[in-house]
Amino acid sequence: MWRVLIGRLSTAIPSIAGVIVVTFVLTRALPGDPAVYFAGPTATPQSVEEIRHQLGLDRRWPVQFAYYLDDLAHGDLGNSLSTGQPVLTEILTRLPASAELTLAGLLIAVLIAVPLGVLAAVRPGSWIDHVCRVVSTAGVSLPTFFTGLLLVYVFYFLLGWSPAPLGRLDIFYSAPPMHTGFYLVDSLIAGDLETFRATLSQLILPAFTLGIFALAPLARVTRAAMLAALGSEFVRTARASGLSRWRIVAVYAFRNAILPVVTTLGMVFSYLLGGNILVEKVFAWPGIGSYAIDALIASDYAPVQGFVLAMAALYVTLNLLIDMLYGVLDPRVGISA
């Protein structure tokens, strides 16, 4: 079991190495003068020189790379020009907001897509099958930012059911005491139902926007995997043995179908993490996505690079977890890894 874990971890190392190299290239080895970028639009030639020396940009590449690695090892991602704060600290502070949003989106997507795909496969040709296929094809065509705006227009402006898209919590409420950073969880821990309700109402629309985005590929894969499982030889054996319909669909077919779905989760997370950025902009969500966008607008360079690195590290970790989850679910993989 441990050998499998180490094996999985070691496949992540080349990925992390690649990510570090790429972010280094993006940071330093640009056409043009990176120092100008980092110094910002209002810098004098002198401060640009200072920055250049500070960042070690006047040294040879291998030395620069060594300094870069050293900085990373110390958790130094540079400082934000606009706030003067260390980028790493700012990212860590804002991470829970993005995480809560992404996880909520994923939950919504899974809760809708998986039953939809299963039912579509169990009743081919029915209206549910058609809904599933339409959702799968159309869902991939929806621009996240546009669906977000549409939902705001309908549910906030027209129907008045949702609060204004102004972030995680209405100004009348204050954030619950910090335990996990997830407002939903923290407000429950503090027993503060008012804040819980307020948080939920702010979270629903952006989470749904993200969820709709991830829905399509999940529904498609679930349906295809269930169809394959239901048509397989071992399901035929199960039917020939007279097993109940429930057991065949839920235990025999579904548990096998879930494996390709888990494999797809990696790609789904790629979409989610990217879509997160767009959704945060539409709903003024104070996560790392809007942090990066604000920095972009202000030509504040260090946060953007830190953001890319952080997202990539997060993604590699998520893929690792997905791999391990797959290893748990599929006994064939554990041994032959």
Partner 1 sequence: MREFFRQARYVVAENPVTGVAFALFLVFVVVALFGPALAPHSPLASNTAEALHPPDAQHWFGTDQLGRDVFSRIVVATRLDLGIAAGAVALAFVFGTGMGLAAGFFGGWADRIIGRLTDTIMAFPLFVLAMGIVAAMGNTVTNIIYATAIINLPLYARLARAEANIRRDAGYVEAARLAGNSEIRIVVAHILPNIMPLMVVQASLTLGYAILNAAGLSFIGLGVRPPTAEWGIMVAEGASSIVSGEWWEALFPGLALMLAVFCFNLLGDGLRDVIDPRNRT
Partner 2 sequence: MTSLLTVEDLSIEFRTRSGTVRAIEHAGFQVHPGETLAMVGESGSGKSVTCLAIMGILDAAGRVTSGRIAFRGRDLLHEREACLREIRGRDIAMIFQNPRTALNPIRTAGQQIADVLIQHAGLTPGAARQRAVEMLGQVRIPDPERRARAYPFELSGGMCQRVMIAMALSCQPALLIADEPTTGLDVTTQAVIMELIDEIARTERTATLLITHDLALASEHADRIAVMHAGHVVETAPTQELLVKPRHPYTQSLIAATPGPAAALADLAAIPGSLPDLRREDLPSCRYSERCGRHDKACDAPLSPRLLADNHSVACRHPL
Q: Which residues bind partner 1 (CB under 8 A)?
A: 14-16, 18-19, 21-23, 26-27, 30-32, 133, 136-138, 140-146, 149-150, 152-153, 156-157, 164-165, 220, 224, 269-275, 277-278, 281-282, 292-293, 296-297, 301, 304-305, 307-308, 311-312, 315-316
Q: Say if residues 193 and 184 touch (Cβ distance below 8 Å).
A: no
CB of 33 to partner 1, least distance (A): 12
* Length of the chain, in residues: 337
327 to 12, 267, 320, 336: CA distances (angstroms): 15, 17, 11, 10
* SS3 state of residue 43: coil
Task: Indicate which of partner 1, partner 2, none lies near residue 15 (CB less than 5 to 8 Å, by partner kind).
Answer: partner 1
With 0-12 CB in 10 A as exposed, 13-18 as middle and 19+ as buried, what is 211?
A: buried
CB of 332 to partner 2, least distance (A): 5
For tokens 């335990």, name the residue: 179
Closer CB to partner 1, 148 or 327, in the complex: 148
Closer CB to partner 1, 176 or 206, in the complex: 206
Q: Say if residues 304 and 295 touch (Cβ distance below 8 Å).
A: yes
The binder of partner 2 chosen from 10, 45, 127, 233 (CB under 8 A): 233
Is 1 an interacting residue with respect to partner 2 (CB under 8 A)?
Answer: no
Closest CA to 320 of 3, 1, 10, 2: 10
Nearest 5°: the CA angle 216, 221, 222 is: 100
The binder of partner 2 chosen from 53, 130, 197, 236 (CB under 8 A): 236
Task: Indicate which of partner 1, partner 2, none lies near residue 138 (CB less than 5 to 8 Å, by partner kind).
Answer: partner 1
The binder of partner 2 chosen from 53, 107, 239, 328 (CB under 8 A): 239
Task: Indicate which of partner 2, partner 1, none lies near residue 294 (CB less than 5 to 8 Å, by partner kind).
Answer: none
115, HSE (Cβ side, Cα atoms, 13 Å):
5
With 0-12 CB in 10 A as exposed, 13-18 as middle and 19+ as buried, what is 321?
A: middle
The binder of partner 2 chosen from 144, 256, 290, 305 (CB under 8 A): 256
Closer CB to partner 2, 16 or 329, in the complex: 329
d(CA 64, CA 218): 43
Structure tokens at 66: 């060594």
Task: Indicate which of partner 1, partner 2, none lies near residue 126 (CB less than 5 to 8 Å, by partner kind).
Answer: none
Q: Would the CA dihedral through 80, 85, 86, 89 be positive or negative?
A: negative
Closer CB to partner 2, 36 or 329, in the complex: 329
The binder of partner 2 chosen from 45, 74, 241, 297 (CB under 8 A): 241
Closest CA to 300 of 92, 77, 20: 77
Is 331 an interacting residue with respect to partner 2 (CB under 8 A)?
Answer: yes
Q: Say if residues 268 and 212 touch (Cβ distance below 8 Å).
A: no
How many residues lie near partner 2 (CB under 8 A)?
Answer: 23
CB of 198 to partner 1, least distance (A): 19
- What is the footprint of partner 2 within residues 263-292 (CB under 8 A)? none
| Residue ranges binding partner 2 (CB under 8 A) | 232-234, 236-244, 247, 251-252, 255-256, 259, 329-332, 335
